[in-house]
Amino acid sequence: MPSIIDAIGEEFEAQEYTRIISLVPSITETLFAIGLENRIVGVTKWDVYPPHARNPPRIVIGGTKNPDLSLIKNLKPDLIIANKEETRKKTYAKLQDIAPVFVTYPRTIEHSIQMVETLIQLTQLSANSQAIKVLNSMKTTYEEHKKTIAPLFSHLGYTVFVPIWKDPWMTINHDTYINSMLSEFYLRNIFAETDIRYPMVDLSDIISAKPDLIILPDEPCPFSQKDKQFLMEKTGLETDRVILVEGSWLSWYGVRTEVGLKNLYISLKHLLKE
């Protein structure tokens, strides 16, 4: 069997890893979905899907950027799954001294689906009916979205602003998974061409760009109804043009890609009546 290459070019051999630590909440959810629940020994404090992800016997090993290395070492993992963006280089080097670290870095819907397929191959689940069912469902949902849902939005040509933080305001450029998700609904990110992946912007920049739509996720910054009202007042947008959504629909890859596509359609379909 050929080697499996991770997002930073490291080679891995597929095997039945039995003590896995996930440093990425969306990947934790994916590992559960494809049938690896009993092989996961450590998760982060941000793992909220599935609801029992942090229940014993799994151990919570801290945050995504600052995991407890001594606790991880004590768990004796045979595989650690990380993310190029979330895991600091210094932390990555220390993790490598403990166990092999498989690095992920999906930035598009296609990457997300491919990542799930790679994880299935890496953990020798290619003949597992549950894993294959999950993968095929993701592929089918995406194909159906491209064929039947996305075209409905193609004529709108709406521009959109999606903040990920405030004080200061921060947003996303084209080289992000969030931007890819927006593109699936033909929404044009007003800061897509910014050189920085997560640029800081002024309120005046937002106002002058005159977005047709603002989408407010509840993570990593918990935007609320108060933020919605503030931006409506500043931009002059109507209430149905400033939309509060669950952040995981926009930014969680893996199996949540399918959830995101379906729920964002529900949140945006009122635009089709205009």
Torsion of CA 260, 261, 262, 264, to 10 degrees: 70
The rounded distance, in Å, linking the Cα atoms of 40 and 47 is: 12
What was the pLDDT predicted at 2? 67
Q: Which residues pair with 80 in a beta bridge?
A: 21, 101
What was the pLDDT predicted at 39? 97
From-to residues of CATH 3.40.50.1980 in the chain: 4-105, 153-273
Nearest of 69, 60, 59 to residue 91 by alpha carbon:
69
What was the pLDDT predicted at 102? 98
Identify residue 105 by its one-letter amino acid code: Y
The CATH class for the domain spanning 153-273 reads alpha beta
What was the pLDDT predicted at 92? 95
The rounded distance, in Å, linking the Cα atoms of 177 and 26 is: 13
Q: Which residue has the tokens 């992000």?
A: 176
Ordered per-residue pLDDT tens for the chain, 274 residues:
568 999 999 999 999 999 999 999 999 999 999 999 999 999 999 999 999 999 999 999 999 989 999 999 999 999 999 999 999 999 999 999 999 999 999 999 999 999 999 999 999 999 999 999 999 999 999 999 999 999 999 999 899 999 999 999 999 999 999 999 999 999 999 999 999 999 999 999 999 999 999 999 999 999 999 999 999 999 999 999 999 999 999 999 999 999 999 999 999 999 998 6
DSSP 70-111: HHHHHT--SEEEEETTTS-HHHHHHHHTTS-EEEE---SHHH
DSSP β-ladder status, 169-170 and 200-201: antiparallel
What was the pLDDT predicted at 17? 97
What was the pLDDT predicted at 3? 84
Q: Which residues pair with 169 in a beta bridge?
A: 201
* CATH superfamily, domain at 4-105: Nitrogenase molybdenum iron protein domain (3.40.50.1980)
Backbone angles phi, psi at 2, to 5 degrees: -65, 155
The rounded distance, in Å, linking the Cα atoms of 102 and 6 is: 6
